[in-house]
C-alpha cells in the first residue's frame, strides 16, 4: 500500500519551497523533519542576502538558479509582503591585486548574464557609502536582503493550506528500495519507529543530505556526494548607527567563500561574516578570539571600525561538496534513475546561493518529479 505519493525529507527553505511548488499537483505529499519545527538548521543561520549571481561559473546550476531565483524571490516578496529590501551591494577592492580580482568577478557576472552592474572609482564609492574606503568597486544594485523566517513561514502555511502534511520531530533513519517504491523508516522522540511506502523521495536534508542519499544504497564516494562541513561565524556591530552603512559591502570572494563581508538586516543591524573553516562535526560555538581576524579583514575597507565594536553573534555551517583543496563544485539536483534509484531526487551541497535560488531549485525539482 502506498501511504504518500511524494515524501520530502527536510523542512528547510529548500524542502519548504519544493513542498509549496508541488502542492499545486494535488498529490498526497508529506514533509518530514527531525526538528520540532521548520528551518532550524542552515536556513536559520545564514546572511539572508538575495544574491545577484556574480561569482558562479556561467551555466552552472548555482549561477542559473541564483539569477532566476532572485527574480522569482523579489516578485514573491512584493506580491505577498514578505520582508525584504533591494539595498544594492558593493564588492570593494582595497589594493591593485584586489582590483584585478573584482574585475574578473565583473567579467564573470557579465558572462552569466547579470545586468545593471557598474564599476565605480574611489570618489563614486565614497559618495555612495561615505564610511567605506576602497580604490575600486563593483556596484550591484539588484542584491538585497530578506527575512528568511518570514519566507519559510509563507511556504509552510501555503503548502499546508493546499493539503501538504508536515511531520516534525520525525527523523528518517532508513530508506529501502522496494520494487519501484521506497520504504521510509522514521524515529519519533519517544524512540518509537515506524515505516511507510512512497514512490517518490525528495532528499533536501541539508547537512545530512549525503547520509540520506546513502540509505537506499547510493555509493556516495563513487557519486562524489560526500559532504564536508565548513563553518561560518558572525560578529555583530554593537552600535550600527555609528557607521550609517546603507549597502552590503563585500571584499573579493576567495576560492571557498565570499570573504568576510558587512551585511545589514531588516532591523538596521550590521553584521560581519561569515568566515570559513572546515570542521569535522557540527559545532555552532563562536571563538571570541577570532574577532581580531574579523576586525582586520573589515577595517581595510571600513577604517572607522574598532575591534571593540564587535560582539559575537551566531554561526552557520555550509554543506560543501568541495573539499578544502578542491575547486568549484556545483549543486547536485539529480533524479537517480542512472544509479538504479528512479524517482529518488537528491539535493546535495545546497550551500549559498541556495536561499536566493530556492524558487528556481523548486522549479527544477518539479520537472524531475513529473518525468
Binding mask 34-73 for ligand FAD (x = CB under 6 A): xx---xxxxx-xxxxx-x----------------------
**350: contact with ligand FAD by CB under 6 A:** yes
CA distance 344 to 339: 10
**198: contact with ligand FAD by CB under 6 A:** no
**214: contact with ligand FAD by CB under 6 A:** no
| Beta-bridge mates of residue 201 | 7, 344
**213: contact with ligand FAD by CB under 6 A:** no
3-state secondary structure of 313: strand
Binding to ligand FAD (CB under 6 A) within 157-186 occurs at: 171-172
Q: Is 210 exposed, middle or buried (0-12, 13-18, 19+ CB in 10 A)?
A: buried
Which regions of 108-223 does DSSP assign to beta strands (E)?
Answer: 118-121, 136-140, 144-146, 165-167, 171-178, 181-187, 193-198, 200-203
- Integer CA distances (angstroms), 291 to 193, 242, 279, 287, in order: 45, 19, 19, 8
**322: contact with ligand FAD by CB under 6 A:** no
**206: contact with ligand FAD by CB under 6 A:** yes
When the beta carbons of 49 and 61 are compared against ligand FAD, the nearer one is 49
- Integer CA distances (angstroms), 171 to 75, 187, 190, 197, 201, in order: 34, 5, 11, 16, 15
**359: contact with ligand FAD by CB under 6 A:** no
**199: contact with ligand FAD by CB under 6 A:** no
**Which one among 77, 351, 360, 365 touches ligand FAD, defined by CB under 6 A?**
351
Part of the chain binding ligand FAD (CB under 6 A), chosen from 132-140, 264-272, 333-341, 344-352 = 344-352
- Least Cβ distance, residue 206 to ligand FAD (angstroms): 3
Beta pairing, strands 261-264 & 277-279: unpaired
Binding to ligand FAD (CB under 6 A) within 266-305 occurs at: 274
Q: Among candidates 256, 236, 295, which has minimal Cα distance to 55?
A: 256
**Which one among 316, 332, 346, 362 touches ligand FAD, defined by CB under 6 A?**
316
Q: Which residues bind ligand FAD (CB under 6 A)?
A: 9-15, 32-35, 39-43, 45-49, 51, 171-172, 204-208, 212, 232, 274, 316-318, 350-356
Amino acid at each position: 500500500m502506498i501511504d504518500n505519493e511524494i515524501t520530502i525529507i527536510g523542512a528547510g527553505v529548500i524542502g519548504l519551497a519544493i513542498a509549496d511548488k508541488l502542492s499545486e499537483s494535488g498529490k498526497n505529499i508529506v514533509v518530514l523533519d527531525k526538528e520540532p519545527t521548520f528551518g532550524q538548521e542552515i536556513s536559520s543561520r545564514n546572511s539572508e542576502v538575495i544574491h545577484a549571481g556574480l561569482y558562479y561559473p556561467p551555466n552552472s546550476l548555482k549561477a542559473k538558479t541564483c539569477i532566476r531565483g532572485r527574480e522569482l524571490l523579489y516578485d514573491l516578496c512584493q506580491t505577498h509582503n514578505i520582508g525584504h529590501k533591494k539595498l544594492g551591494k558593493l564588492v570593494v577592492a582595497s589594493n591593485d591585486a584586489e582590483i584585478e580580482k573584482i574585475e574578473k568577478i565583473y567579467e564573470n557576472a557579465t558572462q552569466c548574464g547579470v545586468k545593471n552592474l557598474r564599476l565605480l572609482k574611489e570618489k563614486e564609492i565614497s559618495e555612495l557609502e561615505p564610511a567605506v574606503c576602497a580604490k575600486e568597486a563593483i556596484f550591484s544594485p539588484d542584491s538585497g536582503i530578506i527575512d528568511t523566517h518570514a519566507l519559510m513561514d509563507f511556504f509552510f502555511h501555503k503548502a499546508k493550506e493546499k493539503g501538504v502534511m508536515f511531520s516534525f520531530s520525525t527523523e528518517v533513519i532508513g530508506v529501502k528500495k522496494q520494487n519501484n517504491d521506497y520504504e521510509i523508516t522514521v524515529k519519533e522522540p519517544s524512540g518509537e519507529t515506524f515505516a511507510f511506502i512512497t514512490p517518490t523521495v525528495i532528499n533536501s536534508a541539508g547537512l545530512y543530505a549525503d547520509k540520506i542519499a546513502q540509505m537506499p544504497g547510493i555509493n556516495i564516494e563513487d557519486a562524489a556526494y560526500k559532504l564536508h562541513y565548513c563553518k561560518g561565524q558572525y560578529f555583530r556591530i554593537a552600535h550600527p548607527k555609528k557607521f550609517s552603512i546603507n549597502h552590503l559591502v563585500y571584499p573579493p570572494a576567495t576560492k571557498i567563500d565570499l570573504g568576510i563581508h558587512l551585511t545589514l538586516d531588516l532591523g538596521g543591524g550590521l553584521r560581519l561574516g561569515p568566515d570559513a573553516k572546515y570542521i569535522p562535526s557540527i559545532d555552532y560555538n563562536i571563538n571570541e578570539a577570532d574577532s581580531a581576524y574579523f576586525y582586520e579583514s573589515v577595517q581595510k575597507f571600513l577604517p572607522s571600525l574598532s575591534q571593540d565594536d564587535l560582539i559575537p553573534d551566531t554561526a552557520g555551517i555550509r554543506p560543501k561538496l568541495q573539499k578544502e583543496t578542491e575547486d568549484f563544485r556545483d549543486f547536485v539536483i539529480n533524479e537517480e534513475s542512472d544509479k538504479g534509484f528512479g524517482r529518488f531526487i537528491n539535493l546535495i551541497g545546497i550551500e549559498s546561493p541556495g536561499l536566493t535560488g530556492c524558487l528556481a531549485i523548486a522549479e527544477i525539482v518539479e520537472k524531475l518529479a513529473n518525468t
